[in-house]
């Protein structure tokens, strides 16, 4: 009898899991506004250039919407902004970590650490990293955003996506990356990139769903 009871419990659990997998479907969550409406002026920074990804890259990344721009400060400092949003609907790809993408493009990691940046009352959990390619060095600050929360670690990102899928039928997530090339003055580069984040982060948040 005990073995029979265990069999029915296992069978019932498998049936419930099977039904859930077949009936559960994540909903597609759009951005609050399309990134085409992202402003050309962000605080003291002005749009310098904008780039579009090739069809081949888009086929790999499959973002719902994205923006890839360079902004210029009055002092001539230039930063790169990339925001890739993945709405979680059918055909949307997952976020690709720079830890895999940058080395694949010929960059090697000089340093990387997780940190927190205070921006207008928001604690942004992010990664500070420096990569080098030949003689060129570039600083990257990046983070993930899921349902209003910032994350700096890929496993936490996956866990948040799974949890939100189970509880809210949502797998939407965003990847935000700010970059700045530099030569020897790393502290100046860090100060400039943080200044841009403080001015730009509220604008980015206004486009992303909570």
- The CATH number assigned to the domain holding 181 equals 3.40.1000
Q: Does residue 4 lie in a domain region?
A: no
In this predicted structure, which of 99-103, 179-183, 203-207 has the lowest mean pLDDT?
99-103
The structure's pTM equals 0.86
C-alpha 171/C-alpha 95 separation (Å) is: 11
Q: Does residue 17 lie in a domain region?
A: no
What does the pLDDT average to over 14-29? 57
- Res 97: pLDDT: 80
Q: Does residue 3 lie in a domain region?
A: no
- Res 23: pLDDT: 45
| Residue 145 bridge partners (DSSP) | 150, 174
Range of the domain at 165: 27-207
- CB-hemisphere CA count at 13 Å for 125? 12
- Tell me the three state secondary structure of residue 49: strand
- Res 40: pLDDT: 97
For the chain, the domain total comes to: 1
Which of the four pLDDT bands, split at 50, 70 and 90, describes residue 8?
low
Q: Does residue 2 lie in a domain region?
A: no
Q: DSSP character for 183?
A: S
Q: CA 122, 124, 125, 128 torsion: positive or negative?
A: negative
**Cβ neighbours of residue 154 closer than 8 Å, sequence gap 6 or more:** 97, 99
Q: Does residue 147 lie in a domain region?
A: yes
Residues 35, 83 contacting (CB under 8 angstroms): yes
| Residue 150 bridge partners (DSSP) | 145
Q: Does residue 181 lie in a domain region?
A: yes
Per-residue pLDDT reduced to its tens digit, 162-203: 899 888 999 999 999 999 999 878 899 999 999 999 999 999
């Amino acid at each position: 009898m005990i073995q029979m009871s265990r069999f029915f419990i296992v069978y019932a659990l498998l049936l419930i899991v099977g039904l859930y997998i077949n009936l559960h479907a994540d909903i597609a969550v759009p951005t609050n506004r399309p990134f085409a409406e992202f402003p050309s002026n962000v605080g003291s920074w002005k749009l310098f250039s904008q780039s579009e990804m090739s069809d081949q890259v888009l086929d790999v990344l499959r973002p719902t919407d994205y923006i890839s721009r360079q902004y210029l400060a009055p002092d001539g400092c230039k930063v790169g902004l990339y925001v890739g949003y993945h709405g979680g609907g059918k055909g949307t790809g997952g976020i690709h970590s720079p830890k895999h993408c940058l080395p694949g493009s010929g960059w090697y990691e000089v340093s990387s650490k997780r940190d927190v940046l205070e921006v207008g009352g928001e604690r942004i959990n992010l990664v500070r990293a420096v990569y080098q390619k030949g003689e060129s060095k570039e600083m990257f600050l990046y983070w993930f955003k899921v349902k209003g929360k910032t994350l700096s670690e890929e496993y936490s990102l996956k866990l948040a996506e799974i949890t939100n899928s189970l509880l809210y039928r949502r797998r939407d997530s965003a990847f935000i990356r700010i970059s700045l090339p530099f030569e020897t003055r790393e502290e100046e580069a860090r100060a400039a990139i943080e200044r841009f984040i403080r001015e730009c982060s509220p604008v980015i948040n206004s486009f992303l769903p909570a």
